[in-house]
Amino acid sequence: MIFDFFTKKIKVFVSEASDDVLYLKSNLEKVLESAGMEVLCINNNENIDENNIIIETQKLLNQADCSIHIIGNSFNRINLDNQNISISEYQLQQAQEKINLNNTEFKVFIWHPTSVSSQISDNEQDDFISQIRQSIHHNMIYSNRDIAISFVEDIRSVMYSFKPKEIKTKNSDLFFIYNQLDEESAKAISNLVSDIIDTQTLEIILSEDIDYSELIVQQVKKSKFMVIYYKNTSDWAEPFVKQVWKKTGGASSNVPILFIGDENVAENEHIDFEAPNVTSIKVANDIIPIEIKVQFDSLTENN
């Protein structure tokens, strides 16, 4: 699984789990993090009493985009807020309440793997599971997948499935993309290039919840040439250009990509991406505007 560097990072609340499925919870959290999601869960390394479970559950759910509730075969009865219920039941109730508060974007995922459900559970847990199955409604997804990776792929599919909103884009000859960490040198380059080529620029700010993926796809449709520039951000640049190439049509795209870096930065020496419609080069930073013009002129001549 590959994390999209230009896609909003999903925050996932993972519920407490009974002892018989703790191994599933541990594995699930690792898979979620590998998929680029932020895991929110109660820190069990600290001594947390029942009142703190209530506070922590509500705090983490308020931060989350969705929640996952792992259902095992043990009821784990406790006394929470004068309710004689299990932790799993309480946390599921709180997640459902968030949906009920007109939160149409929040999703609740219930994970009850077949390998677990086929085993005998106690009567109280059986009643709880039956209650869950009968109360599945909008924004609730029940899954019995056995493999955590498949379950997480389903979550990604649901959470990233949306109707793309129209983003304001402009016709341009050149679409210039760079990372915020390279802002100073990138702006100097784009300012020079924009004097001779009609240019639209995009600064990638990883800390912001912006759907760069859709923005890039829509702007590319109105551009003739795309440049992805890097200086001190090689760790970001290589996986980023691969994902942009895939999302904008790959080998069938009508818009070629110039992947260009500063050759004077040692870390950039081994950075490269070879693919149809992609030119990957490194030159001295002060020559980059000239190289962009040369590549653009070559494209114009060939067309």
What residues pair up with 174 in beta bridges, in sequence order?
Answer: 199, 225
Q: What is the pLDDT of residue 279?
A: 95
Instruction: Supply the pLDDT for residue 164.
Output: 47
In a domain, residue 284? The reply is yes
> By the 8 A CB rule, do 255 and 235 touch?
no
Instruction: Give me the number of domains the chain comprises.
Output: 2
Residue 165 lies in a domain: no
224: its two tokens: 């003739």
Check whether residue 121 and residue 197 sit in a common domain: no
Q: Do residues 127 and 184 share a domain?
A: no
Domain identity same for 127 and 178:
no
Pairing verdict, β 257-262 and 38-40:
unpaired
| 202 in the same domain as 136 | no
The domain spanning residue 82 has which CATH number? Answer: 3.40.50.10140
Measured at the alpha carbon of residue 108, what is the angle toward residues 105 and 138, in degrees to the nearest 5? 65
Q: Is the dihedral of CA 289, 294, 299, 303 positive or negative?
A: positive
The last residue of a domain, from among 96, 129, 159: 159
Q: Is 101 exposed, middle or buried (0-12, 13-18, 19+ CB in 10 A)?
A: exposed
Contact yes or no for 215/167 (Cβ under 8 A): yes
Closest C-alpha to 4, from 264, 247, 284 = 247
The residues, ordered by sequence, that sit 6+ positions from 228 with a Cβ below 8 Å of its Cβ are 177, 178, 237, 240, 241, 244, 257, 258, 259, 260
Instruction: Look at residue 260 and tell me if it is in a domain.
Output: yes
- Do 129 and 225 lie in one domain? The reply is no
Quote the pLDDT of residue 8.
65
At 259 the pLDDT is 97
Would you write out the chain's pLDDT as a tens digit for each of its 303 residues?
233 444 567 899 999 888 888 899 999 999 999 888 999 998 765 556 677 888 899 999 999 999 999 988 776 655 555 566 778 888 988 998 888 776 567 899 999 888 887 776 677 777 878 778 777 777 889 998 999 999 998 898 888 765 444 557 889 999 999 999 999 999 999 999 999 999 999 998 865 556 677 789 889 999 999 999 999 999 889 989 998 999 899 999 999 999 999 999 999 999 999 999 999 999 999 999 999 999 999 876 665
Query: Has residue 60 been placed in a domain?
Result: yes
For residue 4, the model assigns a pLDDT of 46
Domain boundary among 138, 159, 180: 159
Residue 272 is part of which domain span?
172-302
- Based on the domain organization, do 183 and 152 belong to the same domain? no
Q: Is residue 164 part of a domain?
A: no
List the CATH number of the domain containing 182.
3.40.50.9100
